[in-house]
Chains A and B, each alone.
Chain A
């Protein structure tokens, strides 16, 4: 009975979303205030019903209701409670419900925090979000309903895929989906602007924090996914250029272009058209990513043939959303205009180059991801596009992006002179080349790695020198703390995110350039060495988990120092066999460090006391995680900037005052 309530609640949400997608938008064109004013209460209604429906599905997992087909397929009574909850988004149907749940939350947030927007704009923004909701909910109800019953009920469930039984599963999908769906706000706002035919700095100022928020969630989501893959898949890779990863990386790339372009639109009124287009593309890629991962098309394009309704629905929905948005864009964009002019050598042009390169990169990733699917679907050939392709294309396109970050910071808006930039950056250039050279000589890296280190140093030194320059622009005698405090948070956000990128680049460069790995067969008591560490297998035991049994090895990692042999770590990797699905899984053990990770995984048992073992040393892997966190933190700081809050909370006078303060800071 309870699952039916969830199903019913979802149907109600769908009908409310239909009303939401039609009435307020229609009202905004006919001037019907009552229709427009429906937008906010409808958003609240959709949020309530979807949340109830989602709650019901979680409840069905918690109480082990195996008469629900989806629960049976993704859970088991021996599964710990927190994984049963996470099992809610362990499969196709539940992920879609999670998606819609996120959409309804974003929609409700927009309804709450949009007091300063005109009635028409709110009606249109929420209307577009309602239409997106209609598409997703109809898809669920007609082709993949999570509440479908299994009669007679199964005695026990199929269990959640052991690879998903991890803390990562609890936070990774919600974070990622918050990001994906968050871009629907920017998308809806772009469409609303196109409908109204006007787009001004208020538009950019309002949609910037929302876009930043979505971007921060997506960044964290991708980071958690990568971090999880690193320790969970058991073999130490952190990015595989797998279609599933690319699906989340493409919206991130274009989303990154979007937040930079929005900054220009807000500050200078330029790039209007372009920003709108990026908003449309970012969300389109999010939508494509959702379906790519969740439709089963990656497992086999022929999965579509077994249930053609799903594939057909997805294709039609994508065509309507993307095609419709682009048509509206082609029709109305000339009216919006490009905005302010700028010279070829200016901060605007630098950001434009950054935008074009990011978009191009996303395009090459899209091509590499979809091309094999197309060939397979058309029956032409079976091919795969692996990491070598992506690395060969991605790296050369990213090098100019990294290089231009430094001059872009020092450029003035509108017009800048080359001599000034050269003067400002010559010491930075010298410093970064020296740092790169010395570091790569000290670490004995390749030429490519030296280039990576130089670029990272270039970005870091330029950013720091920009900060120093900025802090000088105060009347003499201003205390440092006051100087620090009067610089807006969005500036600190930019600084932290750019430093984070430099840290990330260092991590990637050194992991790629210096990692070492060896596969050996180890007998109890054997010793092997890697990157100057001695690894000794001292014990082999059997351990029992809640729903698995495992063989566990004990490895003592030690290092010879001047004062004798020092034990660094004791690592206990496991080989688990999950009892329900009889599926083996490698559980690696990692000794994490600031400058290197030691990573041990058990392969197969060769005999009772001999195992195949992979021992790896991964230098600077933590810098990849640290860099990613800094990047997300930068976005968070930028979105907490005072100017976004003052505008919503303070009186008009205070706003005027803060605007003057802000303009003084900008002018300095």
Chain B
């Protein structure tokens, strides 16, 4: 084999490896990327139906209910505008607390019940998971915008429809 051919073969081999990696990455991305939605977005129908995604916000105080088997839990998560019920079978992480931020991963069923297969709490000193903080912030902004709108409307003379 001539050196030129050899170099060509090596380059082709390298490209093949890269191509394989690219295919793997793309297909894995397509199947496994997990998107994040706030309760408001979910109730507005933005979240996918048969696909796992993440949802976060604050656990509503006194909303945690434990079913008879002791290890199936149900609680409410709110972003202060909208609230969603979450069902979860398993152990809650140590940092899970009512009135604190939480992020869960799972699927939405037809009745707007979020069936979580994972409840996340970052193992660092920040109690508020960043995604949950984001959900609250976004809802807060929406509320403010709505409030601003409401004020403006009230000062505008309204004609009867």
Residues of A within 8 A of B (CB): 161, 163, 233-235, 299-300, 302, 341, 343-344, 349, 352-353, 356-357, 360-361, 363-364, 367, 381-386, 388-389, 392-393, 396-397, 519-521, 583-586, 601, 603-604, 606, 610, 612, 614
Contacts and interface: CB of A to CB of B under 8 A. Distances in A.
Interface stretch (B11-19, B74-82, B150-158): B11-19
Given A299-B124, A601-B91, A612-B70, A357 B17 contact: yes
Contacts of B105: 386
28 contacts: A234-B94, A235-B91, A299-B122, A352-B10, A353-B13, A356-B14, A360-B21, A361-B21, A381-B35, A384-B34, A385-B29, A386-B32, A386-B34, A392-B24, A392-B27, A393-B28, A396-B20, A519-B71, A519-B89, A584-B94, A584-B95, A586-B94, A603-B91, A606-B66, A606-B70, A612-B70, A612-B71, A614-B90
Given A603-B91, A604-B92, A612-B71, A300 B130 contact: yes
B92 A603 contact: yes
Contacts of B149: none
A601 B32 CA distance: 29
A546 B123 CA distance: 22
Contacts of B123: 163, 233
Contact of B34 (A364, A383, A583): A383
Interface string B1-44: 10100100110011001101100110111011111100000000
A610 B32 contact: no
B126 interface: yes
Contacts of B125: 161
B14 to A, nearest CB: 6
Interface residues of B, number: 43
A235 B21 CA distance: 32
Given A299-B126, A393-B21, A393-B25, A344 B9 contact: yes
B56 to A, nearest CB: 9
Contacts of A612: 70-71, 91
B98 interface: no
Nearest to B38: A382
B44 to A, nearest CB: 16
A254 to B, nearest CB: 15
Contacts of B1: 343-344
B39 to A, nearest CB: 14
Closest 9 CB pairs of A and B: A521-B70, A382-B36, A392-B28, A388-B32, A389-B32, A300-B130, A603-B91, A519-B71, A360-B21
A353 B16 CA distance: 11
A614 B70 CA distance: 12
Contacts of B89: 519
A37 to B, nearest CB: 44
Given A389-B32, A520-B71, A521-B71, A382 B21 contact: no
Interface string B132-151: 01100000000000000000
Contacts of A382: 35-36, 131, 134
Given A344-B9, A357-B17, A519 B27 contact: no
B69 interface: yes
B94 A585 contact: yes
Given A353-B13, A382-B131, A392 B71 contact: no
Nearest to B70: A521
Interface in B39-70: 54, 66, 69-70
B90 A519 contact: yes
A300 B131 CA distance: 9
Nearest to A392: B28
Given A364-B24, A519-B90, 6 more contacts: A234-B94, A353-B13, A361-B21, A388-B28, A392-B27, A393-B21
A29 B105 CA distance: 59
Contact of B17 (A356, A384, A601): A356
